[in-house]
Amino acid sequence: METFNSSQPANNQSRIVILRWGHRAQRDVRLTTHVALTARALRASGFILSDVTDLHIEETITKITQVWGGDFRFEMGTPWKTAVRDWKKKGGVIVHLTVYGENIQTSDVMQRIKMANKDVMLLVGSQKVPGEFYSEEVSDFNVAVGNQPHSECSALAIFLDRYFEGKELDKRFEKANKFIIPKERGKTVKEY
Ligand SMILES: C[S@@+](CC[C@H](N)C(=O)[O-])C[C@H]1O[C@@H](n2cnc3c(N)ncnc32)[C@H](O)[C@@H]1O
C-alpha cells in the first residue's frame, strides 16, 4: 500500500492529512466514517485510519470520492508511531486536536501553525489517547477548539475551516462524476 509522504509544500499550498487514532470496531464505524467525510469535504488531502483496518469505511470513502471527486487519499492499518515518524522525517508538522490544548480562539496557535508553512498531520482521537501524544516528540502543537469536551468531527471541521479561512467551501472537486447546483429549494444534481 502506498503511504503518505510529507515534504515542503509546493506553491505555498500546505497539505493536511488526518490521522484517526483509537478507532474501535463496531462502536466507532459511523463516527470514523464521518470524520473521514468531513476531512474530504473540507479539503484535507487524505486520511489515515491508524493501527486498524476497516474495509467498510474504506469502501464508503472510495465510493464518495469516485462520484464527487477530489484527490482524497485513504490509508489504513499503519501504526501511528510509524506514520508520525515518517511525517516528521519528511519535514511535516504534527497538530494534536485535544480539549487540553492551546485555545484556537484565545491563543496565537493557529497563526504559528500557518507560519510554519509546512504540511500538517492532524491527530484526532476517539478513546483516550496515549500520553505521548502531548509530548514534544509527537506533537508540535496541541490545539483545543475551545476547552470543553465535544466531538472529533466538530473539532476537525472547525480547525479546517479556520485553517483554510472558509476558502475550502467553494473549491471545485477535480475528477468528479457529479456535482450539485446550489439552489433555494429542491435538488439539482448534474453529471459531467
Ligand atoms: C470525544 S473525544 C474523547 C476523548 C477521551 N474521552 C479522553 O478522555 O481523551 C475524542 C477526540 O475528540 C477531539 N476533541 C474533543 N473535544 C475537543 C476540543 N475541545 N478541542 C479539540 N479536540 C477535541 C480530540 O481529538 C479527542 O481525542
CA–CA separation, 36 and 32 (whole Å): 6
In-domain check, residue 5: no
The pLDDT value given to residue 6? 54
Q: Which residue has the cell 462502536?
A: 27
| Torsion-angle region of 141 (φ positive above 0: left; ψ -120 to 50: alpha; else: beta) | beta
Hey, whose CA ends up nearest to atom 13 of ligand 1? 152
The rounded Cα 160 to chain-centroid distance in angstroms is: 8
CA–CA separation, 105 and 170 (whole Å): 24
Which portions of the chain are predicted below pLDDT 50?
Answer: 1, 7-11
CA–CA separation, 113 and 118 (whole Å): 8
Domain total of the chain: 1
The 10s digit of each residue's pLDDT in 95-148 is 999 999 999 999 999 999 999 999 999 999 999 999 999 999 999 999 999 999
User: Which mutation among 150, 156, 163 tests ligand 1's pocket best, with the greatest number of atoms within 8 A of CB?
Assistant: 150
The single-letter DSSP state of residue 39 is: H
Atom number, ligand 1, closest to the C-alpha of residue 126: 10
The pLDDT value given to residue 14? 85
In-domain check, residue 146: yes
The pLDDT value given to residue 164? 97
The pLDDT value given to residue 3? 64
Q: What is the pTM of this model?
A: 0.94
The pLDDT value given to residue 9? 47
153 C-alpha to ligand 1 centroid (Å): 9
The domain of 39 spans: 11-191
Task: Provide the mean pLDDT of the chain.
Answer: 94
CA–CA separation, 139 and 135 (whole Å): 6
Pocket of ligand 1 (CB under 6 A): 97-99, 124-126, 128-129, 144-146, 148-152, 155
Which CATH number is 146's domain given?
3.40.1280.10
In-domain check, residue 58: yes
Spatial contact of 54 and 28, defined as CB atoms under 8 Å apart: no
Q: Is 81 exposed, middle or buried (0-12, 13-18, 19+ CB in 10 A)?
A: middle
In-domain check, residue 180: yes
The pLDDT value given to residue 5? 61
Amino acid at 140: D
CA–CA separation, 99 and 145 (whole Å): 7
The pLDDT value given to residue 10? 41
